[in-house]
Structure 1
Amino acid sequence: MTHAFGGVVGRGRVTRVSSPALRGRPESKTWLGRIRDAIDHLARHSPSRFAILIFAGLVLVFTLLFSLPIARAGDTATPLHDALFTAVSVICVTGLATVDMATYWSPFGNALVFIGVNIGGVGVLTLATTLGLVISRRLGLRAKLMAASDTNPSRLHAGPVSERQAVRLGEVGGLLATVAISALVIEGAIALLLLPSMFAAGYDPLHSIWYAFYYSAMAFTNTGFNPNPGGLDPFQHDYWMQSLLLAGVFLGSLGFPVIFALARGWRHPHRWSVHVKLTLTTTIILFFLGALVFLVLEYNNPETYGKLDAGGTVFQSFFISGMTRSGGFATIDMHALNGSSQLVASMLMFVGGGSASTAGGIKVTTLAVLFLAAFAEARGQQSMEAFGRRIPRDILRLSVSVVLWGATIVAVASVLILQITKAPFENVLFDVISAFATCGLSTGLTASLPPEGVYIMSATMFMGRVGTVTLAAALAASQRRQLFKRPEERPIVG
């Protein structure tokens, strides 16, 4: 006679069946199940570390793929430093290159570039969340926290978040859908609109279609690679094509939370969150202010805009202002810019685009928070306010941490590159900031770096793309409540 709970009854006693599950021991799992549990444990306890490992893993995989002889147009394999640099630049959607991207890679290599920038453009923690969905087949609370932290790292705060967020936890599923749909729709629409320019430049139908989709992906992901020899030289006077690239870069730099908010409530601006309003306002101000500064500084430079008419000078000023925000496309030689213009471009690149976007940099909302803090301090206000909402002080601490992190990376990398190359400081600073901000513009220094310099720039790109978001998320997650206060004492500042 068998007992209902798994025991065998006989002669007045119950004999228990030896079962790991009944003894409280977990059943043996396959190696795949153990790996899945380990990944799930890491994702639950450290989402930011999980995201870094995922990006590092992607860089490793693409480095191996770019190292294959089939990926190169020639018969030899790609050197390790060039393969690694290209993999980091592709996954981190930077756009810098140590080789000629239009002629160095085979069709297989070009396909890797196209696929890699679309993967990297999704976002650090959003990508981690998507892979987590594949593993767990569901969107749990921790997965929602990971995705929401890509829109605002303080989602990982161990307590209530007081300010309105761009995306609520219940809307993360919609955000992930928006990421995929917006990328497909925007890239597809821009590619179709680019086709007439490709045909007008004299390319055959096959190359025209490939170049159109390639340029579209590079614009929306803010990467800036050129698929054709000569880059934008055949399109120097094609303002339609350049306007489409500028539109793609602008949309990609806004960030998926902003696109999500605009898609569902573009008719009601008063309902937009503070994040959306700050992103749009700061982006537009920097766009027009940058164009005005470039116009003033470069209008009489014979090597850049001095040879253009008034209309062309104004348009190109807006074009470079948009591209220094992380776009990476260029119609002029960055080395030919005046030193003052290079400094302004470096400042714009360091700021970058919107949070959870395909752009890099410290992000426009970080800059906005710092200015709001300075404005509040000048007026003697206790808290920062914007658009009728109060911004808590912990957001200021996160912003300062991100800026210091970025400045430290740029300073250390610049010192190392200067020591290795002995190149002019302004060129080194320009290319290092471009690498950190994943912009892709270059004075020509990156392509001439020795292998040790290539590795340093690779690390700069990786830390610039992954580091700022995960640092802010880690700081927000590590904050804890303190039940006591130490005696207060004010140091002298300023």
Structure 2
Amino acid sequence: MAGTTVDAHAPRGGPAWHRRVFSALKDLATASPSRFAVLIFSALILLFTALFSLPIAAADGRPTPLADALFTAVSTICVTGLSTVDMSTHWSPFGHVLVYIGVNVGAMGVLTLASILGLVIAKRLGLRAKLLAAGDSNPLRAHGGPVNEGQTVRLGEVGALLSTVALSTLVIEAVIAVLLYPALLAGGVDPLTALWEAPYYSAMAFTNTGFTPNAEGLEPFAQNYFLLTVLMAGVFLGSIGFPVIFAIWRHRWHLRRWTLHAKLTIITTIVLFFLGAAAFIVLEYGNPTTFGTMDAWDTTFQALFLSAMTRSGGFAIIDIGQLNESSLVVGSMLMFVGGGSASTAGGIKVTTLAVLALAVWSEAKGRPIVSAFRRRIPSDVQRVALSVVAWGATIVALSTITIAHLTKAELSEVLFDVISAFATVGLSTGLTQELPDTAVYVMAATMFMGRVGTVTLAAAVAATSRSQLYSLPVERPIVG
């Protein structure tokens, strides 16, 4: 037709609606990468909700109720690990395969996933696609304004980063599965069954999801320290983030050449790991339902395991509902922090905590700049860190108030499960499986907002990025 404009990248000879949809997606990706990413994540959740609702996905051959199907889809795609049904017995083999595929898709991250789908549309890794992928390693790129390319991964390295994401996921999960197989056999698992459970556990560890394929969970392996150590290693590798894996892969053990992001992530993760374990030992040592009946070695190991899982792993050996309330508070704090940026973990991220801690330390010392490892941290990064904490605390507060009102449950249990949902951890006091449908939807929304990311969510909500070409007079309010 005369006067019709055809996109050069659109499939030739396609129907008019196909070209319109293609053009609309391309315009959306160009105008707002963060909105495009949220749209893709939402579409995936809806797709998996429909699949989980099918009779073939349930072990009893009946359609799964909408609330349970939606919650499972969100928990799977957001690699959370919370559930409203018994994950080991409710789903059929087809349903378990859906869970396995879903956690691996969700583990790639909302912006990284959007960039890969953008490649399918554009047939090339252009600047926009690179901005999408880079945004997952540096949320500042989701906004307008200057971005320091010295942070995390440079745009020119995004192609290599995407390769790292795909290869590291495949290689790490394969290695973990190989290590887990003999450990499962030693634990009494049938060799044929272990062929399925080994890669399943591997995926749940690296993606920091925490689902278990057997009804007893990890309880039969409570004394299998090799298996538990491998699971902790998988959780650690998944939680440090792909940019850190990329930096370590490029520079090996030349620590001075690591990026500031990699250094802060590794150091903060290790510090929180041991501090969390020490806190659990002190608080639970006399609790007969948790660590009270264990010897010193078992108590230490189980405390380390619990500390690692509260960071985002989601696996549990002891009954979380039996922890002292003081331990639930510590666990909530660890979960709220979460893992590394652009990782399979959730939370506000360890680098956010590190930046804020460095800012507080610099202020206490009266230093005009915030720095670490002979590198200055710019003010825009500090503002984003404050925004992430503020948004995260707001989401947790609103969800906690709403669910506490709907369920009338103990506040400590509600707060723990809500933070577990927000930080995509998957540990539960037992409250989540007892939630009414209205509270299930609230918890699902909390998981979605926690996984998409507070910065990305804020950027998606904002209509446009406007530059301010003038400066207002300065006036200092009294703070503190």
What is the TM-score of this pair, normalised by structure 1?
A: 0.93
Q: Does the Cα contact within 8 Å between 2:240 and 2:340 map onto a contact in 1?
A: yes
* 2:182 aligned residue (192, 196, 205): 196
Residue 309 of structure 2 corresponds to which residue in structure 1?
Answer: 323
Residue 231 of structure 2 corresponds to which residue in structure 1?
Answer: 245
Q: Do residues 465 (structure 1) and 451 (structure 2) align? A: yes
* 1:482 aligned residue (449, 468, 477): 468
Q: Does the Cα contact within 8 Å between 1:163 and 1:391 map onto a contact in 2?
A: no
Give how far 1:72 is off. Answer: 0.2
List structure 1 runs of 4+ shifted beyond 4 angstroms: 23-29, 472-481
Give how far 1:75 is off. Answer: 2.8
For 1:150 and 1:419, how far apart are their aligned partners in 2? 35
Residue 403 of structure 1 corresponds to which residue in structure 2?
Answer: 389
Residue 429 of structure 2 corresponds to which residue in structure 1?
Answer: 443
Q: 1:475 to 1:376 in 2, by over 3 A?
A: farther
Q: Does the Cα contact within 8 Å between 2:240 and 2:341 map onto a contact in 1?
A: yes
Q: Which has the larger radius of gyration?
A: 1
Q: How many residues align?
A: 474
Residue 245 of structure 2 corresponds to which residue in structure 1?
Answer: 259
Give CA deviations for 1:115-158 in whole Å, capped at 9, x if unaligned.
00000000010000011111111000011011001000123454
For 2:462 and 2:145, how far apart are their aligned partners in 1? 10
For 1:410 and 1:221, how far apart are their aligned partners in 2? 22
Q: 1:36 to 1:475 in 2, by over 3 A?
A: closer
Residue 57 of structure 2 corresponds to which residue in structure 1?
Answer: 71
Tell which deviates more after alignment, 366-375 or 341-350. Answer: 366-375
Q: 1:439 to 1:49 in 2, by over 3 A?
A: same
For 1:224, give the aligned amino acid. Answer: G
- Residue 76 of structure 1 aligns to a residue whose secondary structure is coil
* 1:174 aligned residue (160, 168, 173): 160
Residue 164 of structure 1 corresponds to which residue in structure 2?
Answer: 150
Q: Does the Cα contact within 8 Å between 2:38 and 2:460 map onto a contact in 1?
A: no
Residue 285 of structure 2 corresponds to which residue in structure 1?
Answer: 299
For 1:208, give the aligned amino acid. Answer: A
* 1:345 aligned residue (331, 335, 348): 331
Give how far 1:312 is off. Answer: 0.7
For 1:177 and 1:473, how far apart are their aligned partners in 2? 26
For 1:119, give the aligned amino acid. Answer: V
Tell which deviates more after alignment, 204-213 or 325-334. Answer: 204-213
For 1:128, give the aligned amino acid. Answer: A
* 1:420 aligned residue (406, 409, 424): 406
Q: Does the Cα contact within 8 Å between 1:191 and 1:212 map onto a contact in 2?
A: yes
For 2:62 and 2:14, how far apart are their aligned partners in 1? 44
Q: Do residues 148 (structure 1) and 142 (structure 2) align? A: no
Contiguous gaps of at least 5 residues in structure 2: 8-12
Give how far 1:44 is off. Answer: 1.0
Give CA deviations for 1:59-78 in whole Å, capped at 9, x if unaligned.
00000000000000003210
Residue 114 of structure 2 corresponds to which residue in structure 1?
Answer: 128
Q: Does the Cα contact within 8 Å between 1:339 and 1:426 map onto a contact in 2?
A: yes
Q: 1:476 to 1:458 in 2, by over 3 A?
A: closer
For 1:427, give the aligned amino acid. Answer: E
Give how far 1:484 is off. Answer: 2.4
Q: Does the Cα contact within 8 Å between 1:154 and 1:476 map onto a contact in 2?
A: no
Q: Do residues 394 (structure 1) and 415 (structure 2) align? A: no
Q: Do residues 62 (structure 1) and 48 (structure 2) align? A: yes
Residue 197 of structure 2 corresponds to which residue in structure 1?
Answer: 211
Give how far 1:215 is off. Answer: 0.4
Tell which deviates more after alignment, 472-481 or 121-130. Answer: 472-481
For 1:375, give the aligned amino acid. Answer: W
For 1:451, give the aligned amino acid. Answer: D
Q: 1:267 to 1:191 in 2, by over 3 A?
A: same
Give how far 1:472 is off. Answer: 6.1
Give CA deviations for 1:259-299 in whole Å, capped at 9, x if unaligned.
01101102311111111111111111111111111111111
What is the TM-score of this pair, normalised by structure 2?
A: 0.96
Give CA deviations for 1:201-239 in whole Å, capped at 9, x if unaligned.
222222111111100000000000010110001101001
Give CA deviations for 1:314-346 in whole Å, capped at 9, x if unaligned.
111110111000000001011111111100000
Tell which deviates more after alignment, 428-437 or 293-302. Answer: 293-302
For 1:415 and 1:192, how far apart are their aligned partners in 2? 44
Residue 10 of structure 1 corresponds to which residue in structure 2?
Answer: none
- Residue 102 of structure 1 aligns to a residue whose secondary structure is helix
Give how far 1:159 is off. Answer: 4.2
Q: Do residues 137 (structure 1) and 123 (structure 2) align? A: yes
Q: Give identity over the alignment, percent.
A: 64
Q: 1:159 to 1:452 in 2, by over 3 A?
A: closer
Q: CA RMSD for the aligned pairs?
A: 1.7
Give CA deviations for 1:91-135 in whole Å, capped at 9, x if unaligned.
000000001000000000000000000000000100000111111
Q: Does the Cα contact within 8 Å between 1:153 and 1:473 map onto a contact in 2?
A: no
For 2:269, give the aligned amino acid. Answer: T
For 1:387 and 1:480, how far apart are their aligned partners in 2? 34
Residue 273 of structure 2 corresponds to which residue in structure 1?
Answer: 287
For 1:263, give the aligned amino acid. Answer: W
Q: Do residues 382 (structure 1) and 368 (structure 2) align? A: yes
Give CA deviations for 1:356-398 in whole Å, capped at 9, x if unaligned.
0000000001111111111111122222111111111111111
* 2:38 aligned residue (52, 76, 79): 52
Q: Do residues 455 (structure 1) and 437 (structure 2) align? A: no
Q: Does the Cα contact within 8 Å between 1:398 and 1:475 map onto a contact in 2?
A: no
Give how far 1:177 is off. Answer: 0.5
For 2:222, give the aligned amino acid. Answer: Q
Q: 1:81 to 1:91 in 2, by over 3 A?
A: same
Contiguous gaps of at least 5 residues in structure 1: 1-18
For residues 357-372 of structure 1, the aligned pairs below 5 Å read 357-372=343-358
- Residue 447 of structure 2 aligns to a residue whose secondary structure is helix
For 2:431 and 2:309, how far apart are their aligned partners in 1? 19
Q: Does the Cα contact within 8 Å between 1:156 and 1:476 map onto a contact in 2?
A: no
Q: Do residues 114 (structure 1) and 80 (structure 2) align? A: no
Q: Does the Cα contact within 8 Å between 1:372 and 1:385 map onto a contact in 2?
A: yes
For 1:390 and 1:154, how far apart are their aligned partners in 2? 17
Give CA deviations for 1:443-470 in whole Å, capped at 9, x if unaligned.
0000001111111101110011114241
Q: 1:24 to 1:137 in 2, by over 3 A?
A: closer
Q: Does the Cα contact within 8 Å between 1:150 and 1:469 map onto a contact in 2?
A: no
Q: Do residues 229 (structure 1) and 215 (structure 2) align? A: yes
Q: Do residues 102 (structure 1) and 88 (structure 2) align? A: yes
For 1:460, give the aligned amino acid. Answer: T
Q: 1:74 to 1:393 in 2, by over 3 A?
A: same
